[in-house]
Amino acid sequence: MRVIRVGTRKSQLARIQTDSVVATLKALYPGLQFEIIAMSTTGDKILDTALSKIGEKSLFTKELEHALEKNEVDLVVHSLKDLPTVLPPGFTIGAICKRENPHDAVVFHPKFVGKTLETLPEKSVVGTSSLRRAAQLQRKFSHLEFRSIRGNLNTRLRKLDEQQEFSAIILATAGLQRMGWHNRVGQILHPEECMYAVGQGALGVEVRAKDQDILDLVGVLHDPETLLRCIAERAFLRHLEGGCSVPVAVHTAMKDGQLYLTGGVWSLDGSDSIQDTMQATIHVPAQHEDGPEDDPQLVGITARNIPRGPQLAAQNLGISLANLLLSKGAKNILDVARQLNDAH
């Protein structure tokens, strides 16, 4: 029986996410065996520094990619938002699974259960490791103070509950739901309050770009709507040259054959921002069998079983929105945010 080796980070959430992908693959391919190999990444080891300060794009992916390269694993399951928009040569995202709720959630200290960010006392401290969240929320909730909090979900929840430093922390709703911690979600933030990170809520399966066998194997996991939304989001971020060290956020929706993409950039303190929305006519295609193409990758993603036209339209939408924001002065906001972040 052929064994497919699946790489993952060691955290409980990463394991849950990987187990869910493997369970789907097992159901699709009962004749194959799957072995899960867990490892620690740089991002898991450096816990005393804000993510945006470490200055490394592949914080949570590098060691896993190393194992892929050395043929120690055949595929790796990631949170899509951890995967840079430009992957190292030789790798591709072979599947993007159906997205869960992409919005951010607020988890409150037990003594503030029932509150919202708006009703928290003046000068309450809110923990987040994301510049994107802090910039947007500072602008909306100026009575609060935002501080960095690092560690996996379990660590962050423990810091919130056991120490008196934080009144609340901001986490991705999808992660909390996957962990089964629905009861801790005190408030879900709507796009008007806080737009989400590119790819948030979706899982990406990374493989060797030339490994046609494995590409075919995982390609069936592609969710067409999630794929098109995430291509648009990733193209927007790539064209802005954004990453962890600058506040960039998005919101996408498919409705009646239209893909709507809202994107924004913020200064670090949230005082300066540029946002806009564009739409394109894109019908969510059914999967189909497609012949190989010369360069099938778009923003690091290979989806040969989804028609090319809608993928290109989604990518063009992302690029067009980025160009619109750049024409309105986004580059200056991002450059200043980068410099300030590097200087701190």
**Catalytic annotation, residues:** 82
Q: Give the residue from 273, 318, 102, 87 showing the smallest Cα distance to 196.
A: 102
Cβ pair 106, 170 in contact under 8 A? yes
Strand partners, 275: 264
The DSSP H or E segment spanning 65 is helix 62-69
Angstrom distance (rounded) from CA 241 to CA 260: 21
CA angle 205, 209, 215 (to 5 degrees): 55
CA angle 317, 248, 122 (to 5 degrees): 140
For residue 217 the two structure tokens come to 């194997």
Q: Give the residue from 102, 115, 105 showing the smallest Cα distance to 185.
A: 105
Distance from the first to the final alpha carbon of the chain = 54
